[in-house]
Structure 1
């Protein structure tokens, strides 16, 4: 238990330190989402500490993800009039993006002849971690593996998303928010708030809608895809 508490404190300190560096030098290679897990993995391997021992403390951070989602209610309330005005467009686009994410992941994984358990772990990678892990367990995947791919998707999406926005000269807050929230969930939402508060709010909504759709649709779609 002591090891878990020590690594819990270390995880928080690593995240805060890398976040401070990222604020001064906003480059992807110093992103807290990349630096923190990489340093932790290296440390665990060096000192030969199993993941279960680390997770005795780390699980508290995972458990905090669910109530932390409530914080998104503040920008939702502030920009409710915008959400109401564009509700149909947001829901339709997020629904399309979510379904495509599920099916494309399953079909590409099958193309490379991946194990069924790994495919089921990959499918919910495009939604926020607590929901992704729940969906993974529901359809027969491995939640811990899913969590890794959720982080990788978030990192990749937060890098590629802004590049797509610049390349196609997208300047609409609604479109930017939907793109980042649906494609890169939490990390994308953080990036969207850097662009504008409206984009961040739309991204928050998109992330929540995507989670709900994936939770409902993934078990059904997987029955056809596998």
Structure 2
């Protein structure tokens, strides 16, 4: 058993099994907040704690899975290519929506952190909460944050966005598929995109676009925003 635990196969098999259990639970319950990824994380933590298995042993396989995050994000360009006509028709509103979404998300997060007197490294960890995980980890590290906290906040943000989407769209009478997709991709990254894809092809394509564009813009402006924050602190 020790031979298996200390190989990459252990982390890979445990991750796949935990995620499959998460998928099964969500399909049976139909509850959006029971996200398969969230369930998988909880199950993996429980297994490691009960079995007293070091995190380093799990990470041998976990790091391999992590390598696929970037390519998986790139694959989202496929539905976008299929909806290029919508991108051309609504280019200006799309770019304005993404930029406003990024700024509102950053400013609101940093403002609340300052009001509650969070430490600088915690604030830096929360800044990239609305962008996809591979980019968010790099932004967090660049700002001096804690990547592990960033991953958790990115996950929670995505799940909350996917769960709250229908209610928000109803309250504010958001009916246009492009608007729905941009909102989900900008605020809830990949998990929001899975919700967008369930709404329709246009929503999914626009959400995929928002993931990439918001990630690039965040990487570009985050250091400047962070310099302002540090001058306040």
CA deviation profile, 1:28-74 (whole Å, cap 9, x unmatched):
24320221111111111212223222111111111101011221121
What CA RMSD, in Å, does the superposition of the two structures yield over aligned residues?
A: 1.5
Q: Take 2:52 and 2:116, find their aligned partners in 1: how far apart are those partners?
A: 33
CA deviation profile, 1:94-134 (whole Å, cap 9, x unmatched):
11111221222112111111111111111111100000000
The partner residue of 2:175 within 171, 175, 185 is 171
Is 1:159 aligned with 2:163? Answer: yes
Aligned-pair distance for 1:220?
0.6
What does residue 4 of structure 2 align with? 2
What does residue 78 of structure 1 align with? 82
What does residue 183 of structure 1 align with? 187
Q: Take 2:50 and 2:33, find their aligned partners in 1: how far apart are those partners?
A: 22
What does residue 114 of structure 2 align with? 110
Q: SS of the residue aligned with 2:76?
A: helix
Is 1:137 aligned with 2:141? Answer: yes
Moved more, 100-109 or 75-84: 100-109
TM-score (norm 1): 0.94
Moved more, 17-26 or 211-220: 17-26
TM-score (norm 2): 0.92
Q: Take 1:215 and 1:98, find their aligned partners in 2: how far apart are those partners?
A: 11
The answer (yes or no) to whether the contact 1:124–1:146 under 8 Å persists in 2 is: yes
Aligned-pair distance for 1:167?
2.1
CA deviation profile, 1:3-44 (whole Å, cap 9, x unmatched):
242132121122123224423542124320221111111111
Aligned-pair distance for 1:169?
2.7
Q: SS of the residue aligned with 1:125?
A: coil
In the alignment, structure 2 segments of 5+ residues that lack a partner are: none
What does residue 101 of structure 2 align with? 97
Q: Take 2:166 and 2:59, find their aligned partners in 1: how far apart are those partners?
A: 33
Q: Take 1:62 and 1:153, find their aligned partners in 2: how far apart are those partners?
A: 19
What does residue 223 of structure 1 align with? 227
The answer (yes or no) to whether the contact 1:118–1:142 under 8 Å persists in 2 is: yes
